[in-house]
Amino acid sequence: MSENNPACVYCQVDADTVPLVALTYQGQTYHICSQHLPVLIHDPQALVGKLPGVDKLQGHSG
């Protein structure tokens, strides 16, 4: 883990490069960049394997 250097769960870009949004999910803190925040909202299945437990989520399009 790299708590001191948060990075997007999707593309691993860090907060020196883009704004990151902090997520709290299942007691853990994750970060996602503004570019990939819509992925979490609309197509969370795309994050399977990147964000543990996200396979339980349903996107708006579902």
# chain residues binding Zn ion, by CB under 5 A: 5
Q: Which of residues 11-30 bind Zn ion (CB under 5 A)?
A: 11
Stretch that binds Zn ion, among 19-27, 31-39, 40-48, 49-57 (CB under 5 A): 31-39
CA distance 15 to 24: 17
CA distance 61 to 13: 26
Q: Per rule CB under 5 A, is residue 33 in the interface with Zn ion?
A: yes
Neighbours of 11 (CB within 10 A): 14
Q: Closest CB to Zn ion among 8 and 51?
A: 8
